[in-house]
Structure 1
Amino acid sequence: MAGLSSAKDLKREADIIRKKEDETFKQLTETKSGGAYAIPSASASVSASASGPGENAVTQYRKSGRQQKKKGAEPTQEEIKQTEKLDARYDEWGKGMKQKEEKAIRLEDHVYEMTKPLARSKDDQDLDTMLKDQERADDPMLTFIKKKKLKGLEKKALPKYKGPPPPPNRFGIMAGYRWDGVDRSNGFERSIYAKTSDKKAVELMAYKWSVEDM
């Protein structure tokens, strides 16, 4: 039938879009890095020193292969066109990447939907979730729905323990929110803290004794 596309066609189109984006990003990265880290070649340096500091001296860049005149020289018409072309490409890349990404996501969603049976039933979980998540500006319950979603996100986080402070441990792990306050451990952590505090007390006493006569 006219107007219908197969899942293979949609997947192929999504792959082409993603490949074009990768190539564009790679070209822009190479252009930027080539201009920033270009190194004058030895032949260009020799020719420039032989000809003297003239305004038409040209520097050959080893990485990018591009030539650049000295600052005193006026840019040629070709250089101006090349700069405008690069600026237009940067502008298109900056503004159009988001739209292309959204288009690729939509195509992948279409491919996923095409793998399902043509007839939709009431038990279709994806369709039910999509219809529930849609927000309509003229919906009188829109504010209530947004508040309900925020409350649902807050409920997903587990509550914290709010009782008396639990005994400390080496790892700083807090007690669970259902802890009843009864210490059922074998006292190992408590003995470690007692030994540590005793050691610090002995060290402090030894230090005070050593500086007492000073």
Structure 2
Amino acid sequence: MTRFAELLADAAELSAAGQRRILGITGPPGAGKSTLAQRLAAALGPERAVLVGMDGFHIGDAELRRTGLRDRKGAPDTFDRAGYAALVHRLRHEAGTVYAPAFDRALEDSIAAAIAVPATTPLVITEGNYLLLWPEIRPLLDEVWYLDPPPAARRDALISRHVAFGKSPAEAESWVQTSDERNAGAVAAGRDRADRVLGWTAD
């Protein structure tokens, strides 16, 4: 297992490279991507790192209902893929402050322009399921870390998350076994393209 201190040291080295670097953190649903990315960004501080999640590009629930995709939320075609790719391209190439959306799990929707990334920020951390599935994203990232925790622990974490945000235990387990696990299979197809595959612990 990779310890957090080691990952933080590696992220800090990226942030000290002298020009902006973009670190991608990916893995199946429930792998701990958001937790790790948040901890890294907090430990490095806002002068050195900003977190921009792919979840800010979830297509809105109203549109998913209109198109009949609400019960597949989280699948690749329920994201604004082109919008996310455009943002990462801007973060790589554009001078000046870039604004990114944030996903509010309580609302189950995105908030536009909620995250500011100043031009002086040396490290952008971006996390999401499909960083290695969508080929236009990988060339924009300096490194991609793939989180691969034990499947049973990952599924338990997912069920707990869904319950915390309003699903019954039965609904949560059903969603994990169908939607989340189907998406996990799509994510796993890109595992071998990661720079590092991590089983990590928060110690």
Task: Output the TM-score relative to the length of structure 1.
Answer: 0.20
Q: Between the two structures, name the one with larger relative contact order (CA 8 Å, sep ≥ 6).
A: 2
The structure richer in strand per residue is 2
Bigger radius of gyration, 1 or 2? 1
